[in-house]
Structure 1
Amino acid sequence: MKRAELEQHIREGVLVPFIGMGVFKETQNEEGMQIPYDSDSMILALNGGRAMSPRLMYEYSRAAMSLEQRKGRAYIEGMTNHIFTSKPYAVPEVYVWLKSLMPRYVVDVNLDDSLLKLYADTDHFLVTGVSRIMGGYERFMVYMYHAQEKRYERIEKELLNSMLPILFKPLGCVVPEKNFIISDADFVDWLTEAMGGYAIPAFLKTYRENKAYLFLGLDFDRDTFRMVANEITMGLSGGYSVGDKNELTKKEEKFLLSHHITHLETNLEHFLKGAH
């Protein structure tokens, strides 16, 4: 499918952009530091540029769990926030492209606020994930953004509707509250409640039915992100995937095939330039 057709489907709301870490591959902050774009670079950023043991380097959630156990929850939250807020960096090209389309519904598993910047002048809803909280099973918070006042307001989940664009950041965000799903314990808690139906607002469960997805920069080789994507896209009607890998692993191929997702034979850079 040509990119122009994909863009039309996004505008129509039948194709939902689903954004992952890979979109940051060419992004550095103003001091030349790389913004994490895969598991390894995330681990290095969390651990002050130092590699960890091979067992922990397998997936950043393991490394984050080890750091949390040794240095405390406040440390891992503070480091995550520091990575994405300490120094300015340009919004990745994927977001620049999406700004021309202004989708009505977007899923973004990144932890920064690049997606939110697209909608800074537009009223919208924001749904962010949370984990390991007391007082209930729900693992999300719902906000309404008031563009004129440039502020988010926490609202009741029942107020979520399709009258405004919906930005879904299931793994948390640096704003409006610093909630991050990043360590093994976070993912286990969130996925457990997701499987029980408590990680996604009731409105979104209905709204997402029969939608297709355009996965941009997602690494389906990691068990964690396959599980997250599976829970978020329940009831999907297929879709497309664009990344920077030359060859897919058997795990990736199996996941894409079982979800009727077509892997486009192009990388992100060429896709965004319209070469596909």
Structure 2
Amino acid sequence: MTIAVLPATGSDAMDAPALLRELGRRLRAGALVPYLGPGVSQLSAPPVPMTPEALAAFFATKVALPRRAKGNAWASAQHIESMKHRATLSALMGEAFAAPVPPAPLQDWLASLPLPLIVDTWYDGAMRAALAGRSDWGEVQGITRAGIGEDRWFRFYDAEGRESSAAAAEGWRTLLYKPHGGIVPARNFLISDADYVEVLTEIDIQTPIPDIVRNRRAERGFLFLGCRFHDQMLRSYARQVKKRSGERHYAVMEPDSLTRNETRFFLQEGITPIAVPLAEALPLLTGAA
């Protein structure tokens, strides 16, 4: 097994296997925030789209899309919303993610830890399912403001899936943050270009990010797992979620998949990429190897 820390930001003074074991120790201590992408659940071959490209392909099977929208989930969703209705887009998202996704081993392991904050950036409910055996956690999800008539950017839900409040969330040992929404418990989806234009207009001043997320990320680093940053929107969101957090951040990345834009993003954001397939990194992170 070949593992290397890419020299993008200057690596820690240890080899990559030792670094991964150390990152696992920092996770167990609550000093790192796991930032999960769809690649985490993708290891289990789930029955739902697990990349933006796969979601765009799903939309293309349901609606005739213009060439400019094909292959782009956000543009495809915007076309559906504009030409049909928001309700149609929401129904298609519900159909795309209707099949339950079982937790991956990494999600089960994270759920066993008293982590202050977990960020999960895909629409499936696997991380919520992994946490289901506990009662000391809750979730906050980004929501679309299309048609709700409210000045709200997010909603809170307790471990049972009931809508809750920011005040109640302060007492949760673990907070699951779904910045793009999710299929459960209430089908909240940020997905169309219009959704993101609205959020990104405000996100520099952090309004769409809950105060409790801002507080719990303070002085903690981020560990990006199963994520890609080949799309500008994905980079913009990650940049704002990690804003004003700790100084040291890491990303486990497939060695042969990094684009030039991703490498530049890691350099700009002070993220050390660890070039190793996620499946090979997991035993080192969790202490199984």
Matched, 1:40 2:53: yes
Structural mapping, 1:86-235, within 5 Å: 87-123=99-135, 124-133=137-146, 134-145=148-159, 151-161=160-170, 163-235=172-244
Assess, with a 3 A threshold, how the Cα gap between structure 1 residues 80 and 208 changes in structure 2: closer, same or farther.
same
Paired residue type of 2:170 = N
Partner in structure 1 of residue 256 of structure 2: 246
Partner in structure 1 of residue 272 of structure 2: 262
> Structure 1 residue 198: deviation in Å?
2.1
> Structure 1 residue 194: deviation in Å?
2.4
Paired residue type of 1:264 = I
Q: Which has the higher contact order (CA 8 A, sep 6+)?
A: 2
Paired residue type of 2:132 = A
> Structure 1 residue 244: deviation in Å?
2.8
Q: Is the 8 A contact 2:140 2:177 kept in 1?
A: yes
Q: Is the 8 A contact 2:28 2:115 kept in 1?
A: yes
> Structure 1 residue 120: deviation in Å?
0.6
Assess, with a 3 A threshold, how the Cα gap between structure 1 residues 49 and 28 changes in structure 2: closer, same or farther.
farther
What SS does the aligned partner of 1:274 have?
helix
CA RMSD of aligned residues (A): 2.4
Matched, 1:9 2:26: yes
In structure 2, C-alpha distance between the alignment counterparts of 1:110 and 1:206, rounded to whole Å: 22
In structure 2, C-alpha distance between the alignment counterparts of 1:245 and 1:68, rounded to whole Å: 37
> Structure 1 residue 157: deviation in Å?
1.7
- Give per-residue Cα distances to partners, 1:33-79, cap 9 Å, x unaligned: 5x322222111123327895552235310111112222321222112
Q: Is the 8 A contact 1:172 1:178 kept in 2?
A: yes
Q: Is the 8 A contact 1:137 1:193 kept in 2?
A: no
Paired residue type of 2:277 = N
Q: Is the 8 A contact 1:13 1:104 kept in 2?
A: yes
Partner in structure 1 of residue 87 of structure 2: 74
> Structure 1 residue 215: deviation in Å?
0.6
Deviates more, 1:195-204 or 1:248-257: 195-204
What SS does the aligned partner of 2:208 have?
coil
Q: Is the 8 A contact 2:43 2:279 kept in 1?
A: no
- Give per-residue Cα distances to partners, 1:75-133, cap 9 Å, x unaligned: 22112112222x34433343234234353310001111111011112121210111225
What SS does the aligned partner of 1:8 have?
helix
What SS does the aligned partner of 1:142 have?
strand
May I ask how many residue pairs the two structures share in their alignment? Answer: 266
What SS does the aligned partner of 1:262 have?
strand
In structure 1, C-alpha distance between the alignment counterparts of 2:78 and 2:87, rounded to whole Å: 12
> Structure 1 residue 224: deviation in Å?
0.5
State the TM-score, normalizing by the size of structure 1: 0.86
> Structure 1 residue 268: deviation in Å?
1.0
Paired residue type of 1:122 = R
Q: Is the 8 A contact 2:101 2:125 kept in 1?
A: no
In structure 1, C-alpha distance between the alignment counterparts of 2:21 and 2:266, rounded to whole Å: 22
Q: Is the 8 A contact 2:202 2:208 kept in 1?
A: yes
What SS does the aligned partner of 2:195 have?
helix
Unmatched segments (≥5 aa) in structure 2:
1-17
In structure 2, C-alpha distance between the alignment counterparts of 1:46 and 1:77, rounded to whole Å: 12
> Structure 1 residue 162: deviation in Å?
5.6
